[in-house]
Amino acid sequence: MKGYVYYSAAESVRNHAFIDELIIESGKLEIELRLLIGDDQPDSDADFILFRDRDTKRATKFEMEGSRLFNRAEVNRIANDKLQTFELATLLGVPAVPTRKIRSIGDINSYPCVLKTVDGHGGDEVFLCTSAMDAELFFNKFHDRKLIVQPFIESGARDIRVFVIGNEVVGAVKRTGNGSFKSNYTLGGSVEKYILSSWQEKDVKTISRAIKSDYVGIDFILLPDGRWLLNEIEDPVGARSLYITHEFSVAEKLMGYIKEKLSGR
């Protein structure tokens, strides 16, 4: 069996340790895994591409050329559009943070609110606005992007990231922000292992089944009363917080899953 793991040039450098682990674990399963970067093209006899980028157009191109992608281009499209993620949750009956597309400051009904680019990730394009002046600064900075508005929801800067391979929950972490309403671990937040309840696992699996995902992270804001609200779906999802809190190899589980899917088991 032969396949590729695709990254952009910049992300291939930042994620070199995970790439090396994927290649090692693939070898144990008799899978020849190679790194595919940037505009490079896969060989026509490859069995799959593990697609680790936020470039839906490129993912679609690979699929149209006959490649089997993990995740599919459609998963990439939904996960990297926060408005579509909210619309999906609404259709599925999964509680989610209310989300609206906005074109101007006049579309904001009340403050404080949270403004985001529709396709941002990692918390870098997320801003808490307490006034029209704050919102104007955000609009000026991201005037050429699609933007959304969400109500500010008091959560103690806590959220849950759930890691899902196929339809199996392989782990979850609770992230808490450090001096910020953002809980992202890469922005200095803390993480701890989290065990899902049965109803939480049901919400997660409802989403993963609907989008037919292979490997995603699903983020929920944790409310003070114990409820949660879907916030984002991450594809590709980084697993640094999972490695810190759990004692298994994500690469091993992921490559085992891919081999099982391609073997028809």
3-class secondary structure, 152: coil
Confidence of residue 185 (pLDDT cuts 50, 70, 90): very low
Query: Which one is predicted more confidently, 133 or 156?
Result: 133
pTM for the full model?
Answer: 0.92
What does the alpha-carbon distance between residue 82 and residue 151 come to, in Å, rounded to a whole number? 14
What does the alpha-carbon distance between residue 181 and residue 165 come to, in Å, rounded to a whole number? 28
Q: Is the pLDDT of residue 60 over 70?
A: yes
Average pLDDT over residues 4-26: 97
What does the alpha-carbon distance between residue 108 and residue 139 come to, in Å, rounded to a whole number? 12
Asked if residues 112 and 130 have their Cβ atoms less than 8 Å apart, the reply is yes
Q: Which pLDDT score, from 0 to 100, does residue 154 have?
A: 87
Residues contacting residue 246 through CB under 8 Å, at least 6 positions apart? 171, 193
221-230: burial string, b at 16+ Cβ within 10 Å, e else:
bbeeeeebbb
